[in-house]
Amino acid sequence: MDFQNNAFYFIMTYGCQMNQADSEHYAGQLEELGYRMTDEIDMADVILINTCCVRETAEGKVLGKIGELKHLKERNKNLILAVTGCMAQEWRDRLFERAPHLDLVIGTHNIHKLVELIKARQKTAKQYLAADMAVPAFHELPARRFQRFFAWVPIMNGCNKFCTYCIVPYVRGREVSRPLADILKEVRALAAEGYKEITLLGQNVNSYGLDLQDGTGFSSLIRALDGIDGIERIRYMTSHPKDMTFAMIDALVASKKVVSHMHLPIQSGSDELLKKMNRGYTVAHYGELVAYARKKIPDLALTTDLIVGFPGETEAMFSETLDLLKQIRYDMAYTFIYSPRTGTPAAKMGGQISQEEKNRRLQRLMDVQNVFSLEYNRAMETRIYDVIVEGPTKNDAKHWFGRTSSNKMVIWEEDGSVAVGDTVPVCIDKGQTWVLKGHLVK
């Protein structure tokens, strides 16, 4: 193919922020090969679907999308269709059986093989699978950033926790930490390019460095990153309570750039269910971490993840989760209905909860949490916060938005005085459950 003659690629990404970061590295490789990004899927010479398999419903959506693309392949025999990510790792060659029109299936540890596989596919028109998890988890690859002032920075891959409901350890492998020097090099380059905010990514960022066994840890990483000029904010996700420590919280507090937002998933307020989930901590220990964090970070915005309807969850256990919400009073909780995931221990457990009951419990959970979310946001009214401008809202170009250090979304009426990437003071006029409304302070 003559790449000077307008060769295009189209990427669709499902799932978590780690998948978003992976897609940026796929895009970077494609652009080095001479392709350009397009928003028109019909124009693409390469279509890449980066997948998630945390829930089987997500897999169903991906399979449906793959089926929809068959007509494009029939129309253009040279079109390359690639499926990557967690579902590619889990399904491997079964994807070719399900969708013979696919060309490439690339697993989670083989992102670096994209260029090689595209070249091979162009020469032979065969199907290619790359899903070997024995290869290193990290490779220094070019990235085509999808945002201008905000960047994802993976610091580790995989997970050793084996929560009984989660498929991640099986498709992402064991924990592998990225070398500290490579992370610092990337962040320095981002700062030089004008990026203001980075988000450190990992299935469990708190356990960063444990596999390196050289004294490197999440705390030392934070201290090293804090010294890089140009970066205004450092975010991190996701934390695991089992590996969060008081010393780690102290390191976050000491940083001038780490945000005041902490996402600390608890999943349930029942110790019995936490044990069945294999979470490795108790509600009491979690509460000690929260109390210490709030003592050290007075303006802390705390968010969490919660699962309702886990196998064996009784009404009494669910009530413990409601009691936890009332005790902790989160700024926001991301609530999920338990969905059996084939291949995980929880899918085989007895005491599966009916969908109707799971729906009822989810609504009850949200009813409690929404009260606190609204209360926290209303308490921000009349106060001024620094916000990094992200641009116009999706449905109204006259209103722009950005986020506070605490990760609260703020919307204001734009008057042409600011640009994307600016850090501006915004006064909060009205706190709503999910967003804040405000005005620019001149």
Q: Which of 324, 287, 288, 285 is nearest to 306 (CA)?
A: 324
- How many whole angstroms from its chain centre is CA 194? 22
User: Using an 8 Å Cβ cutoff, are 149 and 420 in contact?
Assistant: yes
Pairing of strands 399-403, 436-440: unpaired
Backbone angles phi, psi at 415, to 5 degrees: -120, 10
- Binding-site members are 16, 52, 86, 159, 163, 166
Q: Cα–Cα distance between 202 and 80 in angstroms, integer?
A: 30
- Binding-site members for [4Fe-4S] cluster are 16, 52, 86, 159, 163, 166
